[in-house]
Each structure stands twice: as C-alpha cells, then as structure tokens.
Amino acid sequence: MRRIRFTVAYDGTDYHGWQVQPGLETIQGTLERVFMEIEGGPVHVAGSGRTDAGVHALSQTAAVSLANPIPLENLRRAINRQLPPAIRVLTVEEAGPDFHPRHHAVSKTYEYRIFRGEVCPPHEWRYVHHYPYPLQVEQMMALAPLLEGQHDFAALAAADDRELESTVRTIFFSRLEFAGDRMTYCVTGSGFLKHMVRNIVGMLLEAGKGNLDAAGLRTFLEPGCARRAGPTAPAKGLFLMRVDYGG
C-alpha cells in the first residue's frame, strides 16, 4: 500500500466545505469519489484541516493510501481529468506510511481579502468580502500584530469549538495590508479553531468602525473570556494559502 501526499487547490463557492457530509457536495467527498474510481475500491482522503463552506484554498495538503501502482504524474493527470474544474490537484508525491497531513503540520497560512471600492468587479465578487464603507484602516493595521503569540482564542471560535479541551493556539504572524481598493489580512499559526480567522477579521472590522481598541482586543484573548468577539466575516473572502511541515 502506497501513501500519497498531494496538494489541492479549489474554489469553495459551490461546496459545503472540506469534510464529507451526507447528501452534500464537499471537497473531500469529491476527491474520494475520483480516487475510488482509480483504486477500484473505497478510499479515505485525509486533509490538513476542515475548511468551511464557501472557503477557498490555493494549496491544501492531503493524503490517501492506494494499492494502485500508477506512476505519480499519470495519477495526477488521471485525477484532474475526472475532477470538476473548481478542484485541481497540483502536486503528488510518495510519503511515509504514517504521514498525516493534519497531525504532522507545523503551521498554516490564511489570507482574508476585502474589496474596498464602491463597485466590486463581477470577477472579484466570489472571492472577496465587499466592504465599501468608512473604516479607520490605521487602527486595524495597528491591532492586527497584537494577535501574535500564544493566546486563548475561545472568544474567536465557533460555539462548538469552545468546548474543546484547549482553545489555546499560537499565531506566528498577523498583519493587515492595504493597497488600492484591496485590503488583505494574512495570518500564520500553529493551528486554527473553527471560524477563528473569519472571527478575527470581523473583530478587526469592528476596530475599523471605532468600536474596539487595543485594550478591548486584549480582553478577548484572556483565558476563559466568555464574550464573543464581533461578527463572523463571510466565508468567500477566506483562502487557505499553504500548509508547512518544516524540515
């Protein structure tokens, strides 16, 4: 049995997230159907994490175990011939038999894209949060780095993730950049809770509206904070950029 590690990119607009869900089109479910055709039997595709419905990926890492001896490059071509255009396998390689894309990941990087112009171009609409209203951008840019370090992110998690044994995560990089009509929030961390990045963006937007300062942000990072930090930004502006494994 071969362990195949691969990277996949996808437009998540028409999918109900990564994870298999009965009766719904998902990224994982679509990949498993295609790999099953090649393998001639059931397969399980493991991902580095579960993206929400409507979230996109430029490079998601996944793995699958196959008995089929098909050469790697032929495997990549065969998969992409059968996948819908919104999903593409970018690279394939042999991996150790115990490789798991989630358990072995060192960090993940996400981008959240906001379009600030009055009129959002149609070709951008599916991939940005259109927010043309006044914002204190300098305040948002100043607060973004305060998220770096190890913190309890319970206030920035979805309700079901707040019940996890630990909601502590480490953020290595957190920056907001602004150029022309586009605002981009970039964050790299050891791992992320459900809705965490989208909730961070929602919190930064509240800061841009003048509703949150540095002291207020820090209260949301205090252990055991029972408050919820701002609204959840729409899924369509979020992209998983890459997953890193060190070494």
Catalytically active residues, by annotation:
52
Please provide the DSSP assignment of 72-139 as one string: HHHHHHHHHHHS-TTEEEEEEEEE-TT--TTTT--EEEEEEEEE-SSS--TTTGGGSEE--S---HHH
**The one-letter amino acid at 75:** L
* CA dihedral for 193, 198, 202, 205, sign (positive or negative): positive
Reported as half-sphere exposure (CB side, CA atoms, 13 A), residue 136 has a value of 15
Can you tell me the distance from the alpha carbon of 140 to that of 147, in angstroms, rounded to the nearest whole number?
Answer: 12
Instruction: State how far the Cα of 57 lies from the Cα of 223, in Å rounded to an integer.
Output: 31
> What span, in angstroms and rounded, lies between the C-alpha atoms of 86 and 110?
19
Tokens standing for residue 52: 């929400």
Give the up-direction half-sphere exposure of residue 66: CA atoms within 13 A in the CB hemisphere. Answer: 24
Task: Specify whether the backbone of 184 is left (phi greater than 0), alpha (psi in -120 to 50) or beta.
Answer: beta
5 pairs with which residues across the strands?
Answer: 63, 93
Orientation angle between helical segments 72-82 and 27-39, nearest 10 degrees: 120
